[in-house]
């Protein structure tokens, strides 16, 4: 095989990168534009649109709500998803095949439908508080990702390792925490990140479930766009991205390191 | 610390399928018994029942007089060595070996000392700080062995421990396993599908089939005097010939093979021979000769293959297709007629089932 790359291949790779990076560059550029309307390339550079985000109360409130919901929904989904994925893999032979499909079902239901159903059944039907309904909705949409990603991790885990620990005198529950969990660490981290991103970016479910006084950031962005066309939208989008990257980095660091230290 | 193991009337089901059928087995203190059989014969199920990973539908398991049948697996203190080693990937070799001691609440310094001593015994003390991923297959299995032995278990069990290793290492490792087991005088149960491995390592071997033990005996007895047709075929008696006794005369019994040939069988070798029986012979136990007067089964010779020590012939006889060996000095041609003469000390007599 010749070591030299074909020029067409290089060209294709560049196109793919442009396609991936393009939107990011445009949003970043637009956020810095010293104009009162969205434009790219930016005309003049300013950070005032980032300051402006925090002058608008609705943005301040929804950023907090979005982060709270994303963290809580992810935590809940992991709390349900890790044991579910464990059971589905550990007892794969004994359990019926449709059971693992059950955990993917929320992905198959269009999110709009899911949002509307939750609105009718939980928010209106049970008069549940908006925050709680939002949390249930987000937990539902991120749970399938958690189960799938952790399942994939567990699929390559050899359960005789668990049996070895038990035969050496370790209780099954303790074995789960000291032996099984450290070995699916990467799956748990990936599930966390995926779930968090899915939740914090969600529009379709939140659209139905947000109500008076409580909204999420993407819904607030949507509401803002309907009335204004200023670069705040771009700057808040950048902020949302930075927030997500920060969470990813923190999770990677803390979860990764604490598990490794054991 | 060594204890006898007694398994009595053990029955187990997977759902509604019966996988073990009234199995009884006793292993003496310090004895190594192998469970040998094809996959699906119930050998691994038996091991998992003894380890406590499965629950029997009936029967009891006792170890040194203590009833284990309903005891959870983590309280049984049985040393286990798995086929795929089952080392803890996130723990160092030393921590792997010390794991069992940690569960027993032994202080760090003491358990590390004992784990190191055990690693030294399996020749791996240099690798104590490595992670299992950095070890070869043979090294991993040594760590697994050290991890199981360091807790000084009253019973040591092996589940196909050598099947992931290459042929040369397999032979070395089985000698090492046997030496360690002997030195510690630990009662052991060894599951394998490899006959040579089972025979070479064991005090006694249980040959299993469809959830039952077909015969439990020393390797020598199994190899030379199988108790039934299944075990005979398993240990390589390719030829099973139905026979009928026609005359009994003191120390000799005359029996007729299909096709009417009468063969004389010395009682001294075969003991009591029932009126109807099956004569079992390996290919070596039927000598091919061109001599038409020889006392043997008439046969038409088929394909001849060269074994190095003899020629082997696929033969057509009145008793059906048989496999027999002939001397290198006189190769016979395809299609020629010959006699197959039973060699008494290479044959055995089985009851008709």
Nearest to A164 among B75, B76, B80 (CB): B80
Identify the bridge partners of residue B20 per DSSP, sorted by sequence position: B12
| Share of chain A residues as helix, strand and coil, in percent rounded to the nearest 5 | 75, 0, 20
Q: Which candidate, B303, B304, B305, B292, places its Cα nearest to that of B340?
A: B292
Tokens of B316: 């057509």
Residue-level pLDDT at A258: 54
User: Would you state the pLDDT for residue B1?
Assistant: 58
Euclidean distance between the first and final Cα of chain B, in Å? 43
> What is residue A262's predicted lDDT score, i.e. its pLDDT?
39
At residue A126, the pLDDT reads: 81
Low-confidence ranges of chain A (pLDDT < 70): 1-2, 256-262
Q: Which residue of A has its CA nearest to B54?
A: A163
Which chain B residue has its CA at the smallest distance from A171's CA?
B74
Nearest to B139 by CA among A161, B147, B178: B147
Residues of A with a Cβ under 8 Å from any B Cβ are 158, 160-161, 163-172, 175, 179, 182-183, 260, 262
Are the beta carbons of B51 and A163 separated by less than 8 Å? yes
The count of domains in chain A is 1
Contacts of B88 in chain A (CB under 8 A): 161, 164-165, 179, 183
Q: What is the ipTM of this complex?
A: 0.85
- In order of their start, the domains of chain B are 5-232 (3.40.50.300), 237-351 (2.40.50.140)
Residue B71 in contact with partner chain A when CB distance is under 8 A: no
Give me the pLDDT at residue A1, please: 53
CB A54 within 8 A of CB A60: yes
| B97 in reach of chain A (CB within 8 A) | no
Within-domain flag for A42: no
- Contact residues on chain B for A170, CB-CB shorter than 8 A: 74, 99, 103
Nearest chain B alpha carbon to A180: B88
The answer to the question of residue A159 being in a domain is yes
Q: Helices marked H in chain B — which ranges?
A: 43-51, 93-103, 108-121, 137-149, 167-184, 195-201, 219-224, 229-234, 267-270
Question: What is the dihedral angle through the alpha carbons of B209, B212, B214, B217, rounded to the nearest 10 degrees?
Answer: 120
Within a domain: residue A161? yes
pLDDT tens, residue by residue, A119-171: 888 878 787 888 898 999 999 999 999 999 999 999 989 999 999 999 999 99
Structure tokens at B297: 């089964």
Q: Which helix (H) or strand (E) holds B341?
A: strand B337-342
Please provide the size of chain B in residues: 353
In a domain, A226, yes or no: yes
Pick from A166, A182, A183: CB nearest B74: A166
**Residue A256: per-residue pLDDT:** 64
Please name which of B317, B329, B333, B334 lies closest in space to residue B281, comparing C-alpha atoms.
B317
User: What is the Cα–Cα distance from A237 to A31, expressed in whole angstroms?
Assistant: 8
Cross-chain Cβ contact A169/B79 below 8 Å: no
The DSSP secondary structure of B282-316, one letter per residue, reads: -GGGEEEE--TTSSSEEEEEEEEEE-SSSEEEEEE
**What is the side-by-side strand order in the sheet with B204-209?**
B78-81, B155-159, B187-192, B32-36, B204-209, B212-217
Residues of B with CB below 8 A from A183's CB? 88-90
Domain that holds residue A231: 56-261
| Residue A10 confidence (pLDDT) | 93
Give residue A210's pLDDT. Answer: 84
Please tell me if residue B55 touches chain A, with a CB cutoff of 8 Å: no
Q: Tell me the nearest-neighbour CA distance from B264 into chain A, angstroms.
A: 56
Set of chain A residues whose Cβ sits within 8 Å of the Cβ of B89: 161, 183
Cβ proximity of B38 and B128 under 8 Å: no
In whole angstroms, what is the distance from residue A132 CA to residue A120 CA? 14
Provide the residue-wise pLDDT of chain B in tens; the chain has 353 residues: 578 999 999 999 988 899 999 999 999 999 999 999 999 899 999 999 999 999 999 999 999 989 999 999 999 999 999 999 999 999 999 999 999 999 999 999 999 999 999 999 999 999 999 999 999 999 999 999 999 999 999 999 999 999 888 888 999 999 999 999 999 999 999 999 999 999 999 999 999 999 999 999 999 999 999 999 999 999 999 999 999 998 888 778 888 888 778 888 887 788 788 889 999 999 999 999 998 888 889 999 999 999 999 999 999 998 899 999 999 998 898 899 999 999 888 899 998 87
Q: What is the CATH number of the domain that holds A124?
A: 1.10.3720.10
Binary contact (A168, B75; C-beta < 8 A): no
Closest-CA residue of A relative to B105 is A169
**How many helices, marked H, and strands, marked E, lie in chain A?**
14, 0
């Amino acid at each position: 095989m010749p070591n030299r790359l074909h020029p067409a291949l290089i060209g294709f790779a560049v196109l793919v990168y442009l396609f991936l990076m393009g939107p990011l560059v445009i949003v970043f550029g637009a956020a810095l534009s010293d104009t009162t309307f969205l434009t790219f390339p930016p005309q003049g550079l300013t950070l005032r649109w980032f300051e402006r985000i925090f002058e608008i109360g609705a943005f301040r409130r929804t950023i907090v709500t979005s982060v709270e919901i994303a963290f809580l929904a992810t935590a809940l989904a992991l709390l349900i998803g890790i044991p579910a994925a464990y059971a589905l893999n550990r007892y794969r032979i004994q359990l019926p095949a449709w059971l693992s499909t059950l955990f993917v079902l929320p992905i198959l239901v269009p999110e709009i439908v899911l949002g509307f159903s939750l609105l009718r059944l939980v928010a209106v039907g049970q008069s549940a508080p908006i925050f709680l309904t939002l949390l249930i909705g987000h937990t539902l949409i991120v749970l399938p990702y958690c189960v799938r990603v952790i399942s994939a991790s567990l699929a390559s885990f050899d359960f005789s390792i668990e049996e070895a620990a038990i035969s050496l005198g370790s209780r099954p529950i303790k074995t789960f925490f000291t032996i099984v969990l450290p070995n699916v660490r990467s799956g748990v981290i990936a599930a966390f990140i995926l779930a968090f991103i899915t939740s914090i970016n969600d529009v379709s479910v939140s659209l139905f479930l947000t109500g008076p006084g409580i909204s999420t950031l993407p819904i607030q962005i949507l509401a803002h766009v309907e009335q204004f066309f200023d670069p705040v939208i771009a700057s808040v989008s950048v902020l949302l991205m930075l927030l997500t990257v920060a969470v990813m980095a923190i999770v990677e660091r803390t979860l990764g390191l604490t598990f490794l230290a054991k | 610390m060594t204890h006898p193991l007694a398994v009595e009337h053990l029955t187990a089901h997977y759902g509604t399928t019966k996988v073990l059928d009234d199995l009884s087995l006793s292993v003496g203190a310090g004895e190594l018994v192998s469970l040998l059989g094809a996959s699906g014969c119930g050998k691994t199920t038996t091991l998992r029942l003894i380890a406590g990973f499965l629950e029997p539908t009936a029967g009891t398991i006792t170890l040194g007089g203590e009833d284990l049948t309903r005891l959870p697996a983590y309280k049984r203190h049985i040393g286990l060595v798995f086929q795929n080693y089952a080392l803890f990937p996130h723990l160092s070799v030393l921590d792997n070996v010390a794991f069992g001691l940690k569960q027993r609440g032994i202080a760090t310094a003491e358990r590390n000392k004992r784990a190191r001593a055990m690693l030294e015994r399996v020749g791996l003390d240099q690798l104590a700080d490595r992670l299992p991923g950095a070890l070869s297959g043979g090294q991993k299995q040594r760590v697994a062995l050290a991890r199981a032995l360091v807790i000084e278990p009253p019973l040591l069990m092996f589940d196909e421990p050598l099947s992931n290793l290459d042929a040369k290492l397999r032979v070395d490792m089985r000698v090492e396993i046997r030496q360690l087991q002997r030195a510690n005088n630990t009662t052991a149960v060894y599951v394998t599908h490899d006959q040579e491995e089972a025979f070479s390592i064991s005090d006694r071997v249980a040959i299993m089939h469809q959830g039952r033990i077909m015969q439990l005996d020393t390797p020598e007895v199994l190899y030379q005097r199988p108790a039934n047709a299944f075990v005979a075929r398993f240990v390589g008696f390719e030829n099973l010939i139905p026979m009928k006794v026609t005359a009994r005369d003191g120390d000799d019994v005359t029996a007729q093979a299909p096709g009417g040939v009468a063969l004389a069988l010395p009682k001294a070798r075969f003991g009591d021979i029932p009126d109807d029986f099956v004569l079992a012979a390996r290919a070596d136990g039927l000598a091919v000769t061109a001599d038409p007067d020889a006392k043997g089964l008439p046969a038409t010779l088929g394909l001849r293959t060269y074994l190095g020590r003899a020629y082997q012939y696929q033969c057509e006889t009145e008793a059906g297709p048989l496999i027999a060996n002939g001397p290198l000095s006189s190769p016979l041609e395809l299609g020629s007629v010959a006699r197959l003469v039973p060699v008494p000390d290479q044959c055995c007599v089985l009851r008709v089932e």
